[in-house]
């Protein structure tokens, strides 16, 4: 086995972990950009604590899905402020913008130079500026990944700035920060984490390191996703989901993903729909079509046994099958109100473009079998 391991320099996990951030920053920088979501007031505690320690801060708020234009504006402000470190606190949108800013603070050129698909795909020459990632959702795992995903609305695509030098310096994961997350975002972000774990587990690039993470995290998400959605103040369930999301980011950073994300990326750019909701709608259809394709064209693939194992890990039932896993996903998705793709704006007229773009997506490289165009159409039909 040949496997590369990429992970944050330091990980701090547990209830109350975020309260340690001000002391961490003291050892990193004296001028910091704080990238957050749409409500900066939620993080006044952090800004006050940083100021008390003599740390100068400026705040940049990301509203909605992160775009290249938003990241470019944040980068310009950080450069003008002469920030030497970045804190990202919020959901995946805030963390992805923060990572892009940290990467470009110490590397020459503009953001577009480093973007895949729409840019030059130039590799980073230097390690990103010190960056602390503090997720307030349990889903994307962006606190542990090597890429920043940004939307290009004028081209209808989402693209990545990707490098092992982009992984955050610190991942500070505090389940207490997710206690007030509403049921809707809890569900969609949680399904994103579940999809990432499942896809990493059956990926053609899975390895012993990522297997260990997935085998630990899948049962946690399986037992706690429903509770986190319906009883949001349950700290035990929130802790399971926070750890599951962190492990999903670490797993995908080292094993890659599959058709769920191969489709969710292009659809997000086309429909301007939330990434987690797309992943949630696609998850069961992708599992169903993947398993059928494997049984038909690659019956000796180890991914089939892995899907069966994942069914046992997620449901907690020793005799569970893929059919049980599909039923579990579909039942929970209906119970917590996951929208179908048609509700997110998908129309038949989108299919050709979705198929073409998904087949070219980097995430597809990890899928356990190369899907035919007609199989991707079937996934869209099932998820619609």
**Mean local confidence (pLDDT), 311-326:** 98
Q: What integer pLDDT is reported at residue 1 of this predicted model?
A: 61
HSE (CB half, 13 Å, CA atoms) of 210?
31
Cβ pair 166, 218 in contact under 8 A: no
Q: How far is CA 309 from the centre of its chain?
A: 23
C-alpha span between 246 and 242 (Å, rounded) = 6
| Start-end of CATH 1.20.1090.10 domains in the chain | 178-381
C-alpha span between 151 and 307 (Å, rounded) = 31
**Banded pLDDT at 155 (limits 50, 70, 90):** confident
| Start-end of CATH 3.40.50.1970 domains in the chain | 8-175
C-alpha span between 256 and 267 (Å, rounded) = 19
Q: What integer pLDDT is reported at residue 120 of this predicted model?
A: 86
**Average pLDDT value for the chain:** 95
**Mean local confidence (pLDDT), 280-291:** 98
To the question of domain 178-381 being in CATH 2.10.109.10, the answer is no
Q: Token pair for residue 147?
A: 């890429």
**Banded pLDDT at 297 (limits 50, 70, 90):** very high
Percent share of the chain, pLDDT over 70: 99
Over the stretch 182-237, which tens digit does the pLDDT of each residue have? 999 999 999 999 999 999 999 999 999 999 999 999 999 999 999 999 999 999 99
Q: Of 274, 283, 249, which is closest to residue 182 (Cα–Cα)?
A: 274
- CB neighbourhood size of 109 (10 A): 12
Q: Token pair for residue 95?
A: 């963390």
CATH of 8-175, one of 3.30.70.260, 1.20.120.1760, 3.50.50.60, 3.40.50.1970: 3.40.50.1970
Q: What integer pLDDT is reported at residue 277 of this predicted model?
A: 96
Cβ pair 195, 284 in contact under 8 A: no
Cβ pair 114, 126 in contact under 8 A: no
**Mean local confidence (pLDDT), 228-256:** 97
């Amino acid at each position: 086995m040949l496997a590369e391991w990429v992970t944050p320099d330091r990980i701090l996990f547990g209830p109350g972990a975020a309260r340690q951030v001000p002391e961490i920053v003291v050892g990193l920088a004296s001028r910091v950009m704080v990238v957050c979501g749409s409500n900066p007031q939620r993080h006044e505690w952090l800004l006050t604590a940083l100021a008390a320690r003599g740390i100068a801060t400026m705040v940049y708020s990301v509203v909605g899905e992160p775009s290249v234009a938003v990241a470019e504006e944040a980068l310009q402000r950080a450069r003008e402020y002469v920030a030497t470190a970045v804190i990202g606190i919020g959901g995946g949108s805030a963390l992805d913008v923060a990572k892009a800013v940290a990467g470009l603070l110490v590397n020459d050129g503009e953001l577009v130079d480093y973007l895949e698909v729409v840019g030059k795909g130039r590799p980073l020459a230097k390690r990103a500026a010190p960056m602390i990632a503090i997720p307030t959702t349990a889903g994307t795992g962006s606190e542990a990944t090597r890429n920043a995903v940004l939307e290009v609305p004028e081209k209808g695509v989402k693209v990545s700035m990707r490098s092992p030098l982009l992984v955050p310096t610190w991942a500070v994961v505090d389940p207490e920060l997710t206690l007030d997350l509403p049921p809707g975002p809890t569900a969609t972000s949680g399904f994103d984490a579940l999809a990432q774990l499942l896809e990493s587990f059956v990926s053609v690039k899975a390895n012993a390191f990522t297997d260990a993470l997935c085998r630990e995290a899948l049962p946690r998400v399986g037992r706690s996703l429903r509770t986190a959605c319906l009883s949001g103040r349950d700290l035990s369930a929130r802790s399971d989901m926070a750890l599951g999301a962190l492990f999903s980011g670490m797993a995908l950073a080292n094993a890659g993903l599959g058709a769920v994300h191969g489709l969710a990326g292009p659809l997000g750019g086309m429909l301007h729909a939330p990434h987690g909701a797309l992943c949630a709608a696609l998850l069961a259809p992708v599992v169903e079509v993947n398993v059928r394709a494997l049984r038909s064209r690659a019956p000796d693939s180890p991914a089939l046994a892995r899907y069966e194992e994942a069914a046992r890990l997620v449901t907690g039932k020793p005799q569970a099958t893929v059919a049980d896993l599909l039923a579990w996903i579909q039942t929970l998705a209906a119970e917590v109100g996951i929208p179908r793709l048609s509700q997110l704006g998908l129309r038949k007229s989108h299919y050709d473009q979705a198929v073409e773009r998904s087949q070219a997506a980097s995430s597809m490289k990890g899928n356990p079998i190369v899907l035919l165009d007609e199989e991707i159409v079937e996934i869209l039909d099932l998820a619609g």
